[in-house]
Structure 1
Amino acid sequence: MILVFGGTTEGKQVISLLNEMQLTYVYSTKTEVNVELGEFGQYRNGALTPETLIQLIQEEKIQRIIHAAHPFAMELHQTIDIAGQQEKIEVLRLERNFSERVDHELVKYLKSYTELLATLTRDFQGKKLLALTGVQSIGKLKPFWKDNISYFRILDRNSSIDIADKSDFPREQLILEQPKNLIGGEEKLIDQLNIEVIATKESGSTGALEEKIELALKRKVPIFILTKPLLPKSFIQVQNVESLNVILNGNASFNLNNSSFNTIER
């Protein structure tokens, strides 16, 4: 049995591959989502601690983990790392495609929300912010938005709206989108809302980062990008679904020292 962490485009790609290969799996997401699994998959949702993940591994007799959740799911990264090492379970991390970082005066890469907040507070008082950093960032950036008009684009889900409400964020400044519509539409927002600074994440091609940067440069709007977090060394990084297919077919050898794999010639 394979345990898949998803909730992303990459997660859906893994589902398709496992169904094609007729491999049984458990598909796991933090919040409940509508997903079609087919006859080989079963679904669960809810946050996991290392202890509850270990219990799940033991109960479902999990032999391998495919981690295809969001690059910024840092707590999940740590949970999988701890449980995987304790249970001696191989963790395959299906990565997104990340383009080279852009060297431009309007494009800045920051390592943390603390650094982002400090930069906004120091240099952008009185400026309108468009935050594409997700609902969890609302509380982290409160010291800025409580004194400056800011707009956060989040998923149109009750759970997301509840998180925003707990931070007392103005509902009229929430931009609610369905998951399939979450990418794109920024140009219209910038023009309609007179946006003067953008914050986003280094979420790769799946998150349309290249398009966001291109738009910011076109509109001459500064864009701040939170860099993707480092992955645990125990993860075996897989660059695409084709490579994952090779691994699952047993046509690869692993070098755990550098978390990579090599294709075996047959």
Structure 2
Amino acid sequence: MHTNSNTYLENKKMILVLGGTTEGRIAVQTLEEAGKPFYYSTKGYEQDIPLHNGIRLQGGMDKDAMESFCRKENISLLIDAAHPFAEELHRNVNDVSDKLQIPAILYDRIYPRIEKHDGIVWCDSFEDAVQKIKKEEVYILLALTGVKSIGKLKALWQESCRCYFRILDRESSRELARSEAFPEEYLRYYHAGEDERLLIRQIRPDAIVIKESGASGGFSEKVEAAQELGIRIFIIKRPPLQPNLLPVNGRHGLRRMVELYHPGFYDLRSGFTTGTCAAAAAAAAIWDIFNLDGTPRPPEFIVTLPNGEMIGVPVEPQKQRPRSSSVNDNWMVESEACVIKDAGDDPDITNGMQIKVNIALPFNMDEVNSGKQQDDYNIIIAGGEGIGIVTMPGLGLELGAPAINPTPRKMIEENVRMYLSYVGVPKMSNPIVVTISVPGGEEIAKRTFNPRLGIEGGLSIIGTSGIVKPFSSEAFVSSIRKSMEVARATDSPRVVISSGAKSERYIKAYYPGLPVQAFVHYGNFIGETLKIADELKLPRVTLGVMIGKAVKLAEGHLDTHSKKVVMNKDFIQDIARRAECGEDVSAAIRKMNLARELWDIIPAEKLETFAKLLIELCGQCCAPLLPDGELTILLIGEDGKIYV
């Protein structure tokens, strides 16, 4: 084993990731966000992965080597992101975790659900697969199980049937096949992105054998291709989880587990969106209805996020029992559950608020007794107390509808559907009404962009990922996009973007005829806002900017947040010299603390020239982001004067 860094990180608690897979790559990307060192170990040398903070280890580790490394390098968290069939490695991680009392996270895969099908045979192991395939009339078998399975399926290709193995097109794989004395003529090579049907059509096997390798292993594509061509499928089940490993199946869950078990690695905690909180509350409400034996409600419920990963969300203890009523042999049961929103360390205005969900579940007894079911559940997502109503076009939502965007709406619906199916609720024609409420939301919404967007009476649910990244651009940029879409829907001849209320107040006087919706706040995200303007094909955009952001933008910083960039006094001095200001001005710039002091430092007779140069530099930075639109930049003085 060797490392690409000789640095010995003494007295630092470290993370060790065991990877080499797609999950390993995502784990690296997730940990790199922290800007802190960690170790990334792979058995082979083939995976090419950029590391900025991570330290690469290559060569693999057995149990003793892993234990020794963890002791020596002060490892306090293990992340197992290896292939699901790397059973020995999973056992080693489990045993080292148990012996050294180090928490271990399993970055597992997302496993698609496969409906029961006559052409599918599930196998508990490779040995079980060999026995079941031998019992069938399989003369030609295509194995999509990787080069390491050649030895495990030897009893088939030596005794039972002609076997083709698809392997990676690399010398190490060919060498392994040769070591098993497998005939090279029956090897086929994997080509990324290739339609699975091509190889199946070429070989025309009686059956294929695959591993339950998850979404990232192309599992669904293999199954669908074989089913479409009428080929029998033998599926080897993934090995059972090791008892000490804490499973996650996506980047968001991984980050939250690292935040929990390795505090301080990330400077700020992530959180949940309102949509995710609502999905968890809905799940808890459904559970309450069917919890007939009085078992205490679990402290958290699993929610499937828009990207398919599953994550646990804490729910509040049950406050009231479900209520039921009966009318004409039909009956209705209602239940309510609550989640306290945890936005992590993001300055989310709804952090700590109650997200309540009421489920009204009707039972049509004629349909229930008949045993007949509809194709799907009839789910209606409604807005209750504190959820705003859409009153203007441009948001992509119906006028008069609750302000719940398509992505969180779909996420809530799918989680409700999942839990209804799990508890065995029949699919009936009567609507299942899911009402989301945020007590106090109407008052809070007055401090948001909602009134300007035409959302009245409450908050909007707009999240896209289900997770709030602390101080991330995600929520803010999402709001910007919605504001820009509303502006476009007004058919305003121009959209004006500015940093906030103060600059907007001055710039509105410059464009008195524009509708209020034409004015959009970019905060610090100038670049993102201009990109959105280009995507929306806005023909004319005015960028209003005050001096503090202008001196950063002019230097090329499209995100002007003070935590990311500070003003460059040398750069400002250079602009002043180009405006033919004297050395006394340059000396004053060196001593200033705030950019707004420039209005007093630059001589009155030089202000127009200085402002023109600053605007020109801002334009050079911004214009490429709006190639097909007309961009006007206005510099706003402290007294409201506009420089063009």
Amino acid at match of 1:3: L
> Is the counterpart of residue 33 in structure 1 residue 46 in structure 2?
yes
Q: Which one of the candidate residues 187, 201, 204 is aligned to 1:191?
A: 201
Aligned to 1:115: 128
Larger CA Rg, structure 1 vs 2:
2
d(CA) in 2 for partners of 1:116, 1:94: 26
> Is the counterpart of residue 51 in structure 1 residue 64 in structure 2?
yes
Q: Secondary structure at the match of 1:146?
A: helix
> Is the counterpart of residue 231 in structure 1 residue 244 in structure 2?
no
Q: Which one of the candidate residues 145, 149, 160 is aligned to 2:173?
A: 160
On the 8 A contact 1:184/1:208 being kept in 2, the answer is no
On the 8 A contact 2:18/2:79 being kept in 1, the answer is yes
Aligned to 1:85: 98
On the 8 A contact 1:189/1:195 being kept in 2, the answer is no
Deviations 1:6-60 (A, max 9, x none): 1111111111111111121111112112323322111112232211101111222
> Is the counterpart of residue 138 in structure 1 residue 150 in structure 2?
yes
Q: Secondary structure at the match of 2:48?
A: coil
d(CA) in 1 for partners of 2:156, 2:205: 15
After alignment, is 208-217 or 42-51 more displaced? 42-51
After alignment, is 229-238 or 145-154 more displaced? 145-154
d(CA) in 1 for partners of 2:68, 2:164: 40
Q: Which one of the candidate residues 212, 224, 249 is aligned to 2:222?
A: 212
d(CA) in 1 for partners of 2:47, 2:246: 28
Indicate the RMSD between aligned Cα atoms, in angstroms: 2.0
Aligned to 1:171: 184
Aligned to 1:98: 111
Deviation at 1:213, TM superposition (A): 1.1
On the 8 A contact 1:202/1:228 being kept in 2, the answer is yes
After alignment, is 10-19 or 242-251 more displaced? 242-251
On the 8 A contact 1:196/1:221 being kept in 2, the answer is yes
Aligned to 1:128: 140
Aligned to 1:23: 36
On the 8 A contact 1:31/1:45 being kept in 2, the answer is yes
Q: Secondary structure at the match of 1:69?
A: coil
Amino acid at match of 2:151: G
> Is the counterpart of residue 222 in structure 1 residue 232 in structure 2?
yes
Q: Secondary structure at the match of 2:33?
A: helix
Q: Which one of the candidate residues 11, 15, 33 is aligned to 1:2?
A: 15
After alignment, is 30-39 or 189-198 more displaced? 30-39
**Structure 1: gaps spanning 5 or more residues:** none
Amino acid at match of 2:147: V
After alignment, is 28-37 or 129-138 more displaced? 28-37
Over 3 Å counting, the alpha-carbon distance change for 1:164 and 1:237 in structure 2 is same
Deviations 1:124-166 (A, max 9, x none): 34x2111011111111211211242211011122222122112
d(CA) in 2 for partners of 1:261, 1:54: 30
Q: Secondary structure at the match of 1:47?
A: coil
Number of residue equivalences: 256
Aligned to 2:608: none
| 4+ long deviations beyond 4 Å | 260-264
Question: Identity percentage over the alignment?
Answer: 32
On the 8 A contact 1:129/1:151 being kept in 2, the answer is yes
d(CA) in 2 for partners of 1:224, 1:102: 14
Q: Secondary structure at the match of 1:231?
A: coil
Deviation at 1:184, TM superposition (A): 4.2
On the 8 A contact 2:41/2:60 being kept in 1, the answer is no
Over 3 Å counting, the alpha-carbon distance change for 1:19 and 1:78 in structure 2 is same
Over 3 Å counting, the alpha-carbon distance change for 1:146 and 1:185 in structure 2 is farther
